[in-house]
Structure 1
Amino acid sequence: MKIAVTYDRGNVFQHFGQTTQFKIYEVEDKNVVSQEITDTNGDGHGALAGFLTRLGVKTLICGGIGAGARNALSDAGIRLYPGVEGNADEAVSSLLSGNLKFDPDTLCDHHHEGSEEHECGHHGESCGH
């Protein structure tokens, strides 16, 4: 099974649609057997679901994510764990051990025209992207 994590300098990147890299983990029997960092090559938002599908990803760990991307991932059969923060490797270890802290209701609403910031999460926290 392949797990992807939105990735930025070792941590879970907080805006799915703007991620420039994923860390991809190959997992067998709840153990990571390989991992690599993959550039998105400029793909963003809805196109990222197809990008992950082509890589054979079945699970995604991320921070904030918009409704359109959620739908595209769902249509692609990719299981989603949003609202995750912190170290990417630790997040995957937590998922494999059944202890991942995530928020299934996390959304990223970036439709604030003319603004540098947008709201990520459902509590109004700014993710700064």
Structure 2
Amino acid sequence: MKIAIPYENGMVFQHFGHTAEFKFYEVENGQVTASEVVSTNGQGHGALVGFLAQHNANVVFCGGIGPGAQNALAQAGIQLFGGISGPADAAVADYLAGKLRFDPNAHCDHHDHGEGHHCGEHHCGGHSCGQ
């Protein structure tokens, strides 16, 4: 299994589509066997799922993620765990120990709001505020 995490300074970067790097973790028999940080080379929202598929990611842990990226990950067969924050290595350790806390409804609808909106600021009941 290969886990991918949007990554910045050891932490889970909170905006999937704007991440400059992913940290990839190779996992075998419930243990991390290797990890590496890889630059996205400026690829944004649309290209990131292809980038993850090229790197053979099976699972993505992230903070905020838009519905388009969620759908693209699902179509690519990549499992998503959203709403995760804190140290990336700790998230992987928690996942492998069966105690990862994530939000299955985590998403970022910032595209529907004006400037100044930040992911996680609103409580819209799981739908876009603009509807």
Name the SS for the 2:94 alignment partner. helix
RMSD of aligned C-alpha atoms?
Answer: 1.4
Structure 2 CA distance for aligned equivalents of residues 43 and 116 of structure 1: 23
TM-score computed with the length of structure 1 as normaliser = 0.90
- 1:48 and 2:53 equivalent? no
Q: Could you tell me how far 1:109 is from its partner in structure 2?
A: 1.3
Structure 2 CA distance for aligned equivalents of residues 119 and 55 of structure 1: 27
Match of 1:27 in 2: 27
Name the SS for the 1:108 alignment partner. coil
- 1:108 and 2:92 equivalent? no
Structure 2 CA distance for aligned equivalents of residues 40 and 120 of structure 1: 24
Structure 1 CA distance for aligned equivalents of residues 96 and 122 of structure 2: 26
Q: Could you tell me how far 1:121 is from its partner in structure 2?
A: 7.0
Higher strand proportion (structure 1 or 2): 1
Aligned residues: 123
Q: Could you say if the C-alpha distance between residues 70 and 5 of structure 1 is closer, same or farther in structure 2, counting changes exceeding 3 Å?
A: same
Structure 2 CA distance for aligned equivalents of residues 41 and 63 of structure 1: 20
Structure 1 CA distance for aligned equivalents of residues 96 and 120 of structure 2: 25
Match of 2:57 in 1: 57
TM-score computed with the length of structure 2 as normaliser = 0.89
Q: Could you say if the C-alpha distance between residues 81 and 95 of structure 1 is closer, same or farther in structure 2, counting changes exceeding 3 Å?
A: same
Match of 2:129 in 1: none
Are 1:109 and 1:118, in contact at CA under 8 Å, matched by a contact in 2? no
Give the greater-gyration-radius structure (CA).
2
Name the SS for the 1:120 alignment partner. coil
Name the SS for the 1:3 alignment partner. strand
Q: Could you tell me how far 1:45 is from its partner in structure 2?
A: 1.1
